[in-house]
Amino acid sequence: MKAIAVLLIFLGLALQLASQTSARFEDYETVIYGGSIHRPKWIRRVADDEWRDELGKLVEPPEINFAGKYFVAVHSCGTGCGYYTMTDLSSGRELDLLKDFGAAEPPPKTREGYPYVTDLVTRANSRLVVAQFHIDSPRGDECRERAFILDGEKITPVTNTRRSCTKY
């Protein structure tokens, strides 16, 4: 009887841990805006397939890639330096919600003191954003990830940090 109770507790904890460490884009689906697109003020087209930011750095073309109406762009500001912007393409309004995911010189560090850079994974029809932290540790390159959702006008974590990354 004691063994069954321990097994049930273990299974319950395993299920709770699994629910905390994985999130799916389809669990946070949203409708994609279909109206006029208002480009960010900081972007300019320099050729048919080339877009540049205010620093003259290449960026992806402005299109909805997050939460139904937002354009999340990654910008380079030098070697090992990058930051994210988020623009509501239905209005052109900039939201300063992704500043914590950027990296400058010196790079941010983990609690253990290892430098890392962050990649954000988004989907046009989902409010979920997955932050993948690429860590330069003495054991070699490591990847950790944590999922967040856009909740109104804030980014809220929905999982703990996992010690492995999903391939998207």
**65 domain residue, yes or no:** yes
User: Strands across the sheet with 128-137, in order?
Assistant: 116-121, 128-137, 140-151, 154-157
Buried b (16+ CB within 10 A) or exposed e, 132-165: bbebbeeeeebbbbbbbbbeeeebeebbeebeeb
Model confidence over 47-106: pLDDT tens digits?
A: 989 999 999 999 999 999 999 999 999 999 887 789 999 999 999 999 999 999 998 888
Mean pLDDT value of segment 16-26: 66
- Is pLDDT at 12 greater than 50 in this prediction? no
For residue 9, report the phi and psi dihedrals to the nearest 5 degrees.
Answer: -65, -45
**133 domain residue, yes or no:** yes
**7 domain residue, yes or no:** no
Q: Contact at 8 Å (CB) between 145 and 130? A: yes
What confidence category does residue 107 fall into, taking pLDDT thresholds of 50, 70 and 90? confident
Q: Which residues contact 17 (CB under 8 A, 6 or more apart)?
A: none
What confidence category does residue 3 fall into, taking pLDDT thresholds of 50, 70 and 90? very low
- Is pLDDT at 145 greater than 50 in this prediction? yes
**6 domain residue, yes or no:** no
**109 domain residue, yes or no:** yes
Our count of domains for the chain comes to: 1
Name the pTM for this structure.
0.83
**52 domain residue, yes or no:** yes
Domain of 121 in residue numbering reads as 26-157
**8 domain residue, yes or no:** no
**96 domain residue, yes or no:** yes
